[in-house]
Amino acid sequence: MPPLLYLILSAYLIPISQCHPNTCRSYCGNITIDYPFAVQYGCGHPGFRDLLYCINDVLMFHISSGSYRVLEIDYAYQALTLHEPHMSTCHNLVLGSRGNGFALEPWRAPYMNPAADNVFMLIACSPRSPLFQGFPGKHLPCRNVSGMGCQDYYSCPAWEMMGHKPLGSPSFFGSGPPECCALPYEAIRGINLTKLQCEGYTSAYSVAPLRVHGPGDWSYGIRVRYSVQGNDEFCGACEATGGSCGFASDGIRQLCMCGDFNSTSNCDSDSGSSFYHLLLPPFIMFMLSC
């Protein structure tokens, strides 16, 4: 073998244990990170790549609108619970358009979205906000979601600093838009405070079948439902043969990681040689075939 080719092969044929661990399951603090998620590149489902990061035992969720702390991953119900420090609660209003809101990259939308029972309440929006355009008079897009809405939220202690008028008073709609507008995520497909010209927001979700008595007992945060689309038979077959589910360097093709080799199907169907065909560039494969 020519010396140059030997050096190139030595660089590419790194022991697999250094490239891909035998399992992609890991932990960040007290949160288990398992398929379809991962913190190692190449692990998990490609639709969730570059999403989670473990920083000083704190699991962070990163999308185009910003970073959020992950409080919980519920694999049984396929949901994540996120916390955003600049989001208002019942005891604290955060204004100045400092909040992240929530907006996904278009390519992520098929895999995750805020839950249907998650309400976003936009606070102190401008009359010129796109939120209120095309809705004359009292026909505003604001509405309750899973029994949660602004009328109850106004009773929170945090609103004492706003001096708001009770929703439904005779002159309320005539004086401009409401100080709070509750919406489900799918109504506007993105919570961007700058674009919507709003000073702040809050988000709460329903934990069915529990029913709480008021906004002081609501669960504040962003509840995101996720799906890998379909039954994901590839990963099921991979794990059934002792492999770990991952994806190739193109960030698209799924791979089954089988300890000392990778497979495009499962650990029982390929030999170790299949891994090198996935890893080596075409020009090296050509040189080896000569």
Average pLDDT, the chain: 81
Q: Are residues 18 and 90 in the same domain?
A: no
Of 173, 202, 226, which residue is a domain's last? Answer: 226
pLDDT in tens, 235-244: 999 999 999 9
Q: Are residues 162 and 187 in the same domain?
A: yes
Of the pLDDT bands very low, low, confident and very high (cuts 50, 70, 90), residue 230 is low
At 148 the pLDDT is 92
Of the pLDDT bands very low, low, confident and very high (cuts 50, 70, 90), residue 163 is low
- Do 185 and 118 touch, CB atoms closer than 8 A? yes
* Residue 272 counted as domain residue: yes
* Residue 37 counted as domain residue: no
CA distances to 142, 178, 221 from 172, rounded to whole Å, are 14, 7, 29
CA distances to 95, 122, 164 from 160, rounded to whole Å, are 14, 17, 8
Q: Are residues 87 and 188 in the same domain?
A: yes
Q: Are residues 207 and 264 in the same domain?
A: no
- Nearest 5°: the CA angle 213, 115, 155 is 30
Q: Are residues 249 and 165 in the same domain?
A: no
At 98 the pLDDT is 87
Domain count along the chain: 2
Q: The whole model's pTM is what?
A: 0.78
Where is average pLDDT lowest: 57-71, 97-111, 255-269? 255-269
Q: Are residues 269 and 171 in the same domain?
A: no
Q: Are residues 160 and 222 in the same domain?
A: yes
CA distances to 92, 97, 173, 193 from 200, rounded to whole Å, are 11, 5, 20, 7
- Do 165 and 172 touch, CB atoms closer than 8 A? yes
Question: How confident is the model over 26-48, as a mean pLDDT?
Answer: 93
Domain interval for residue 196: 77-226
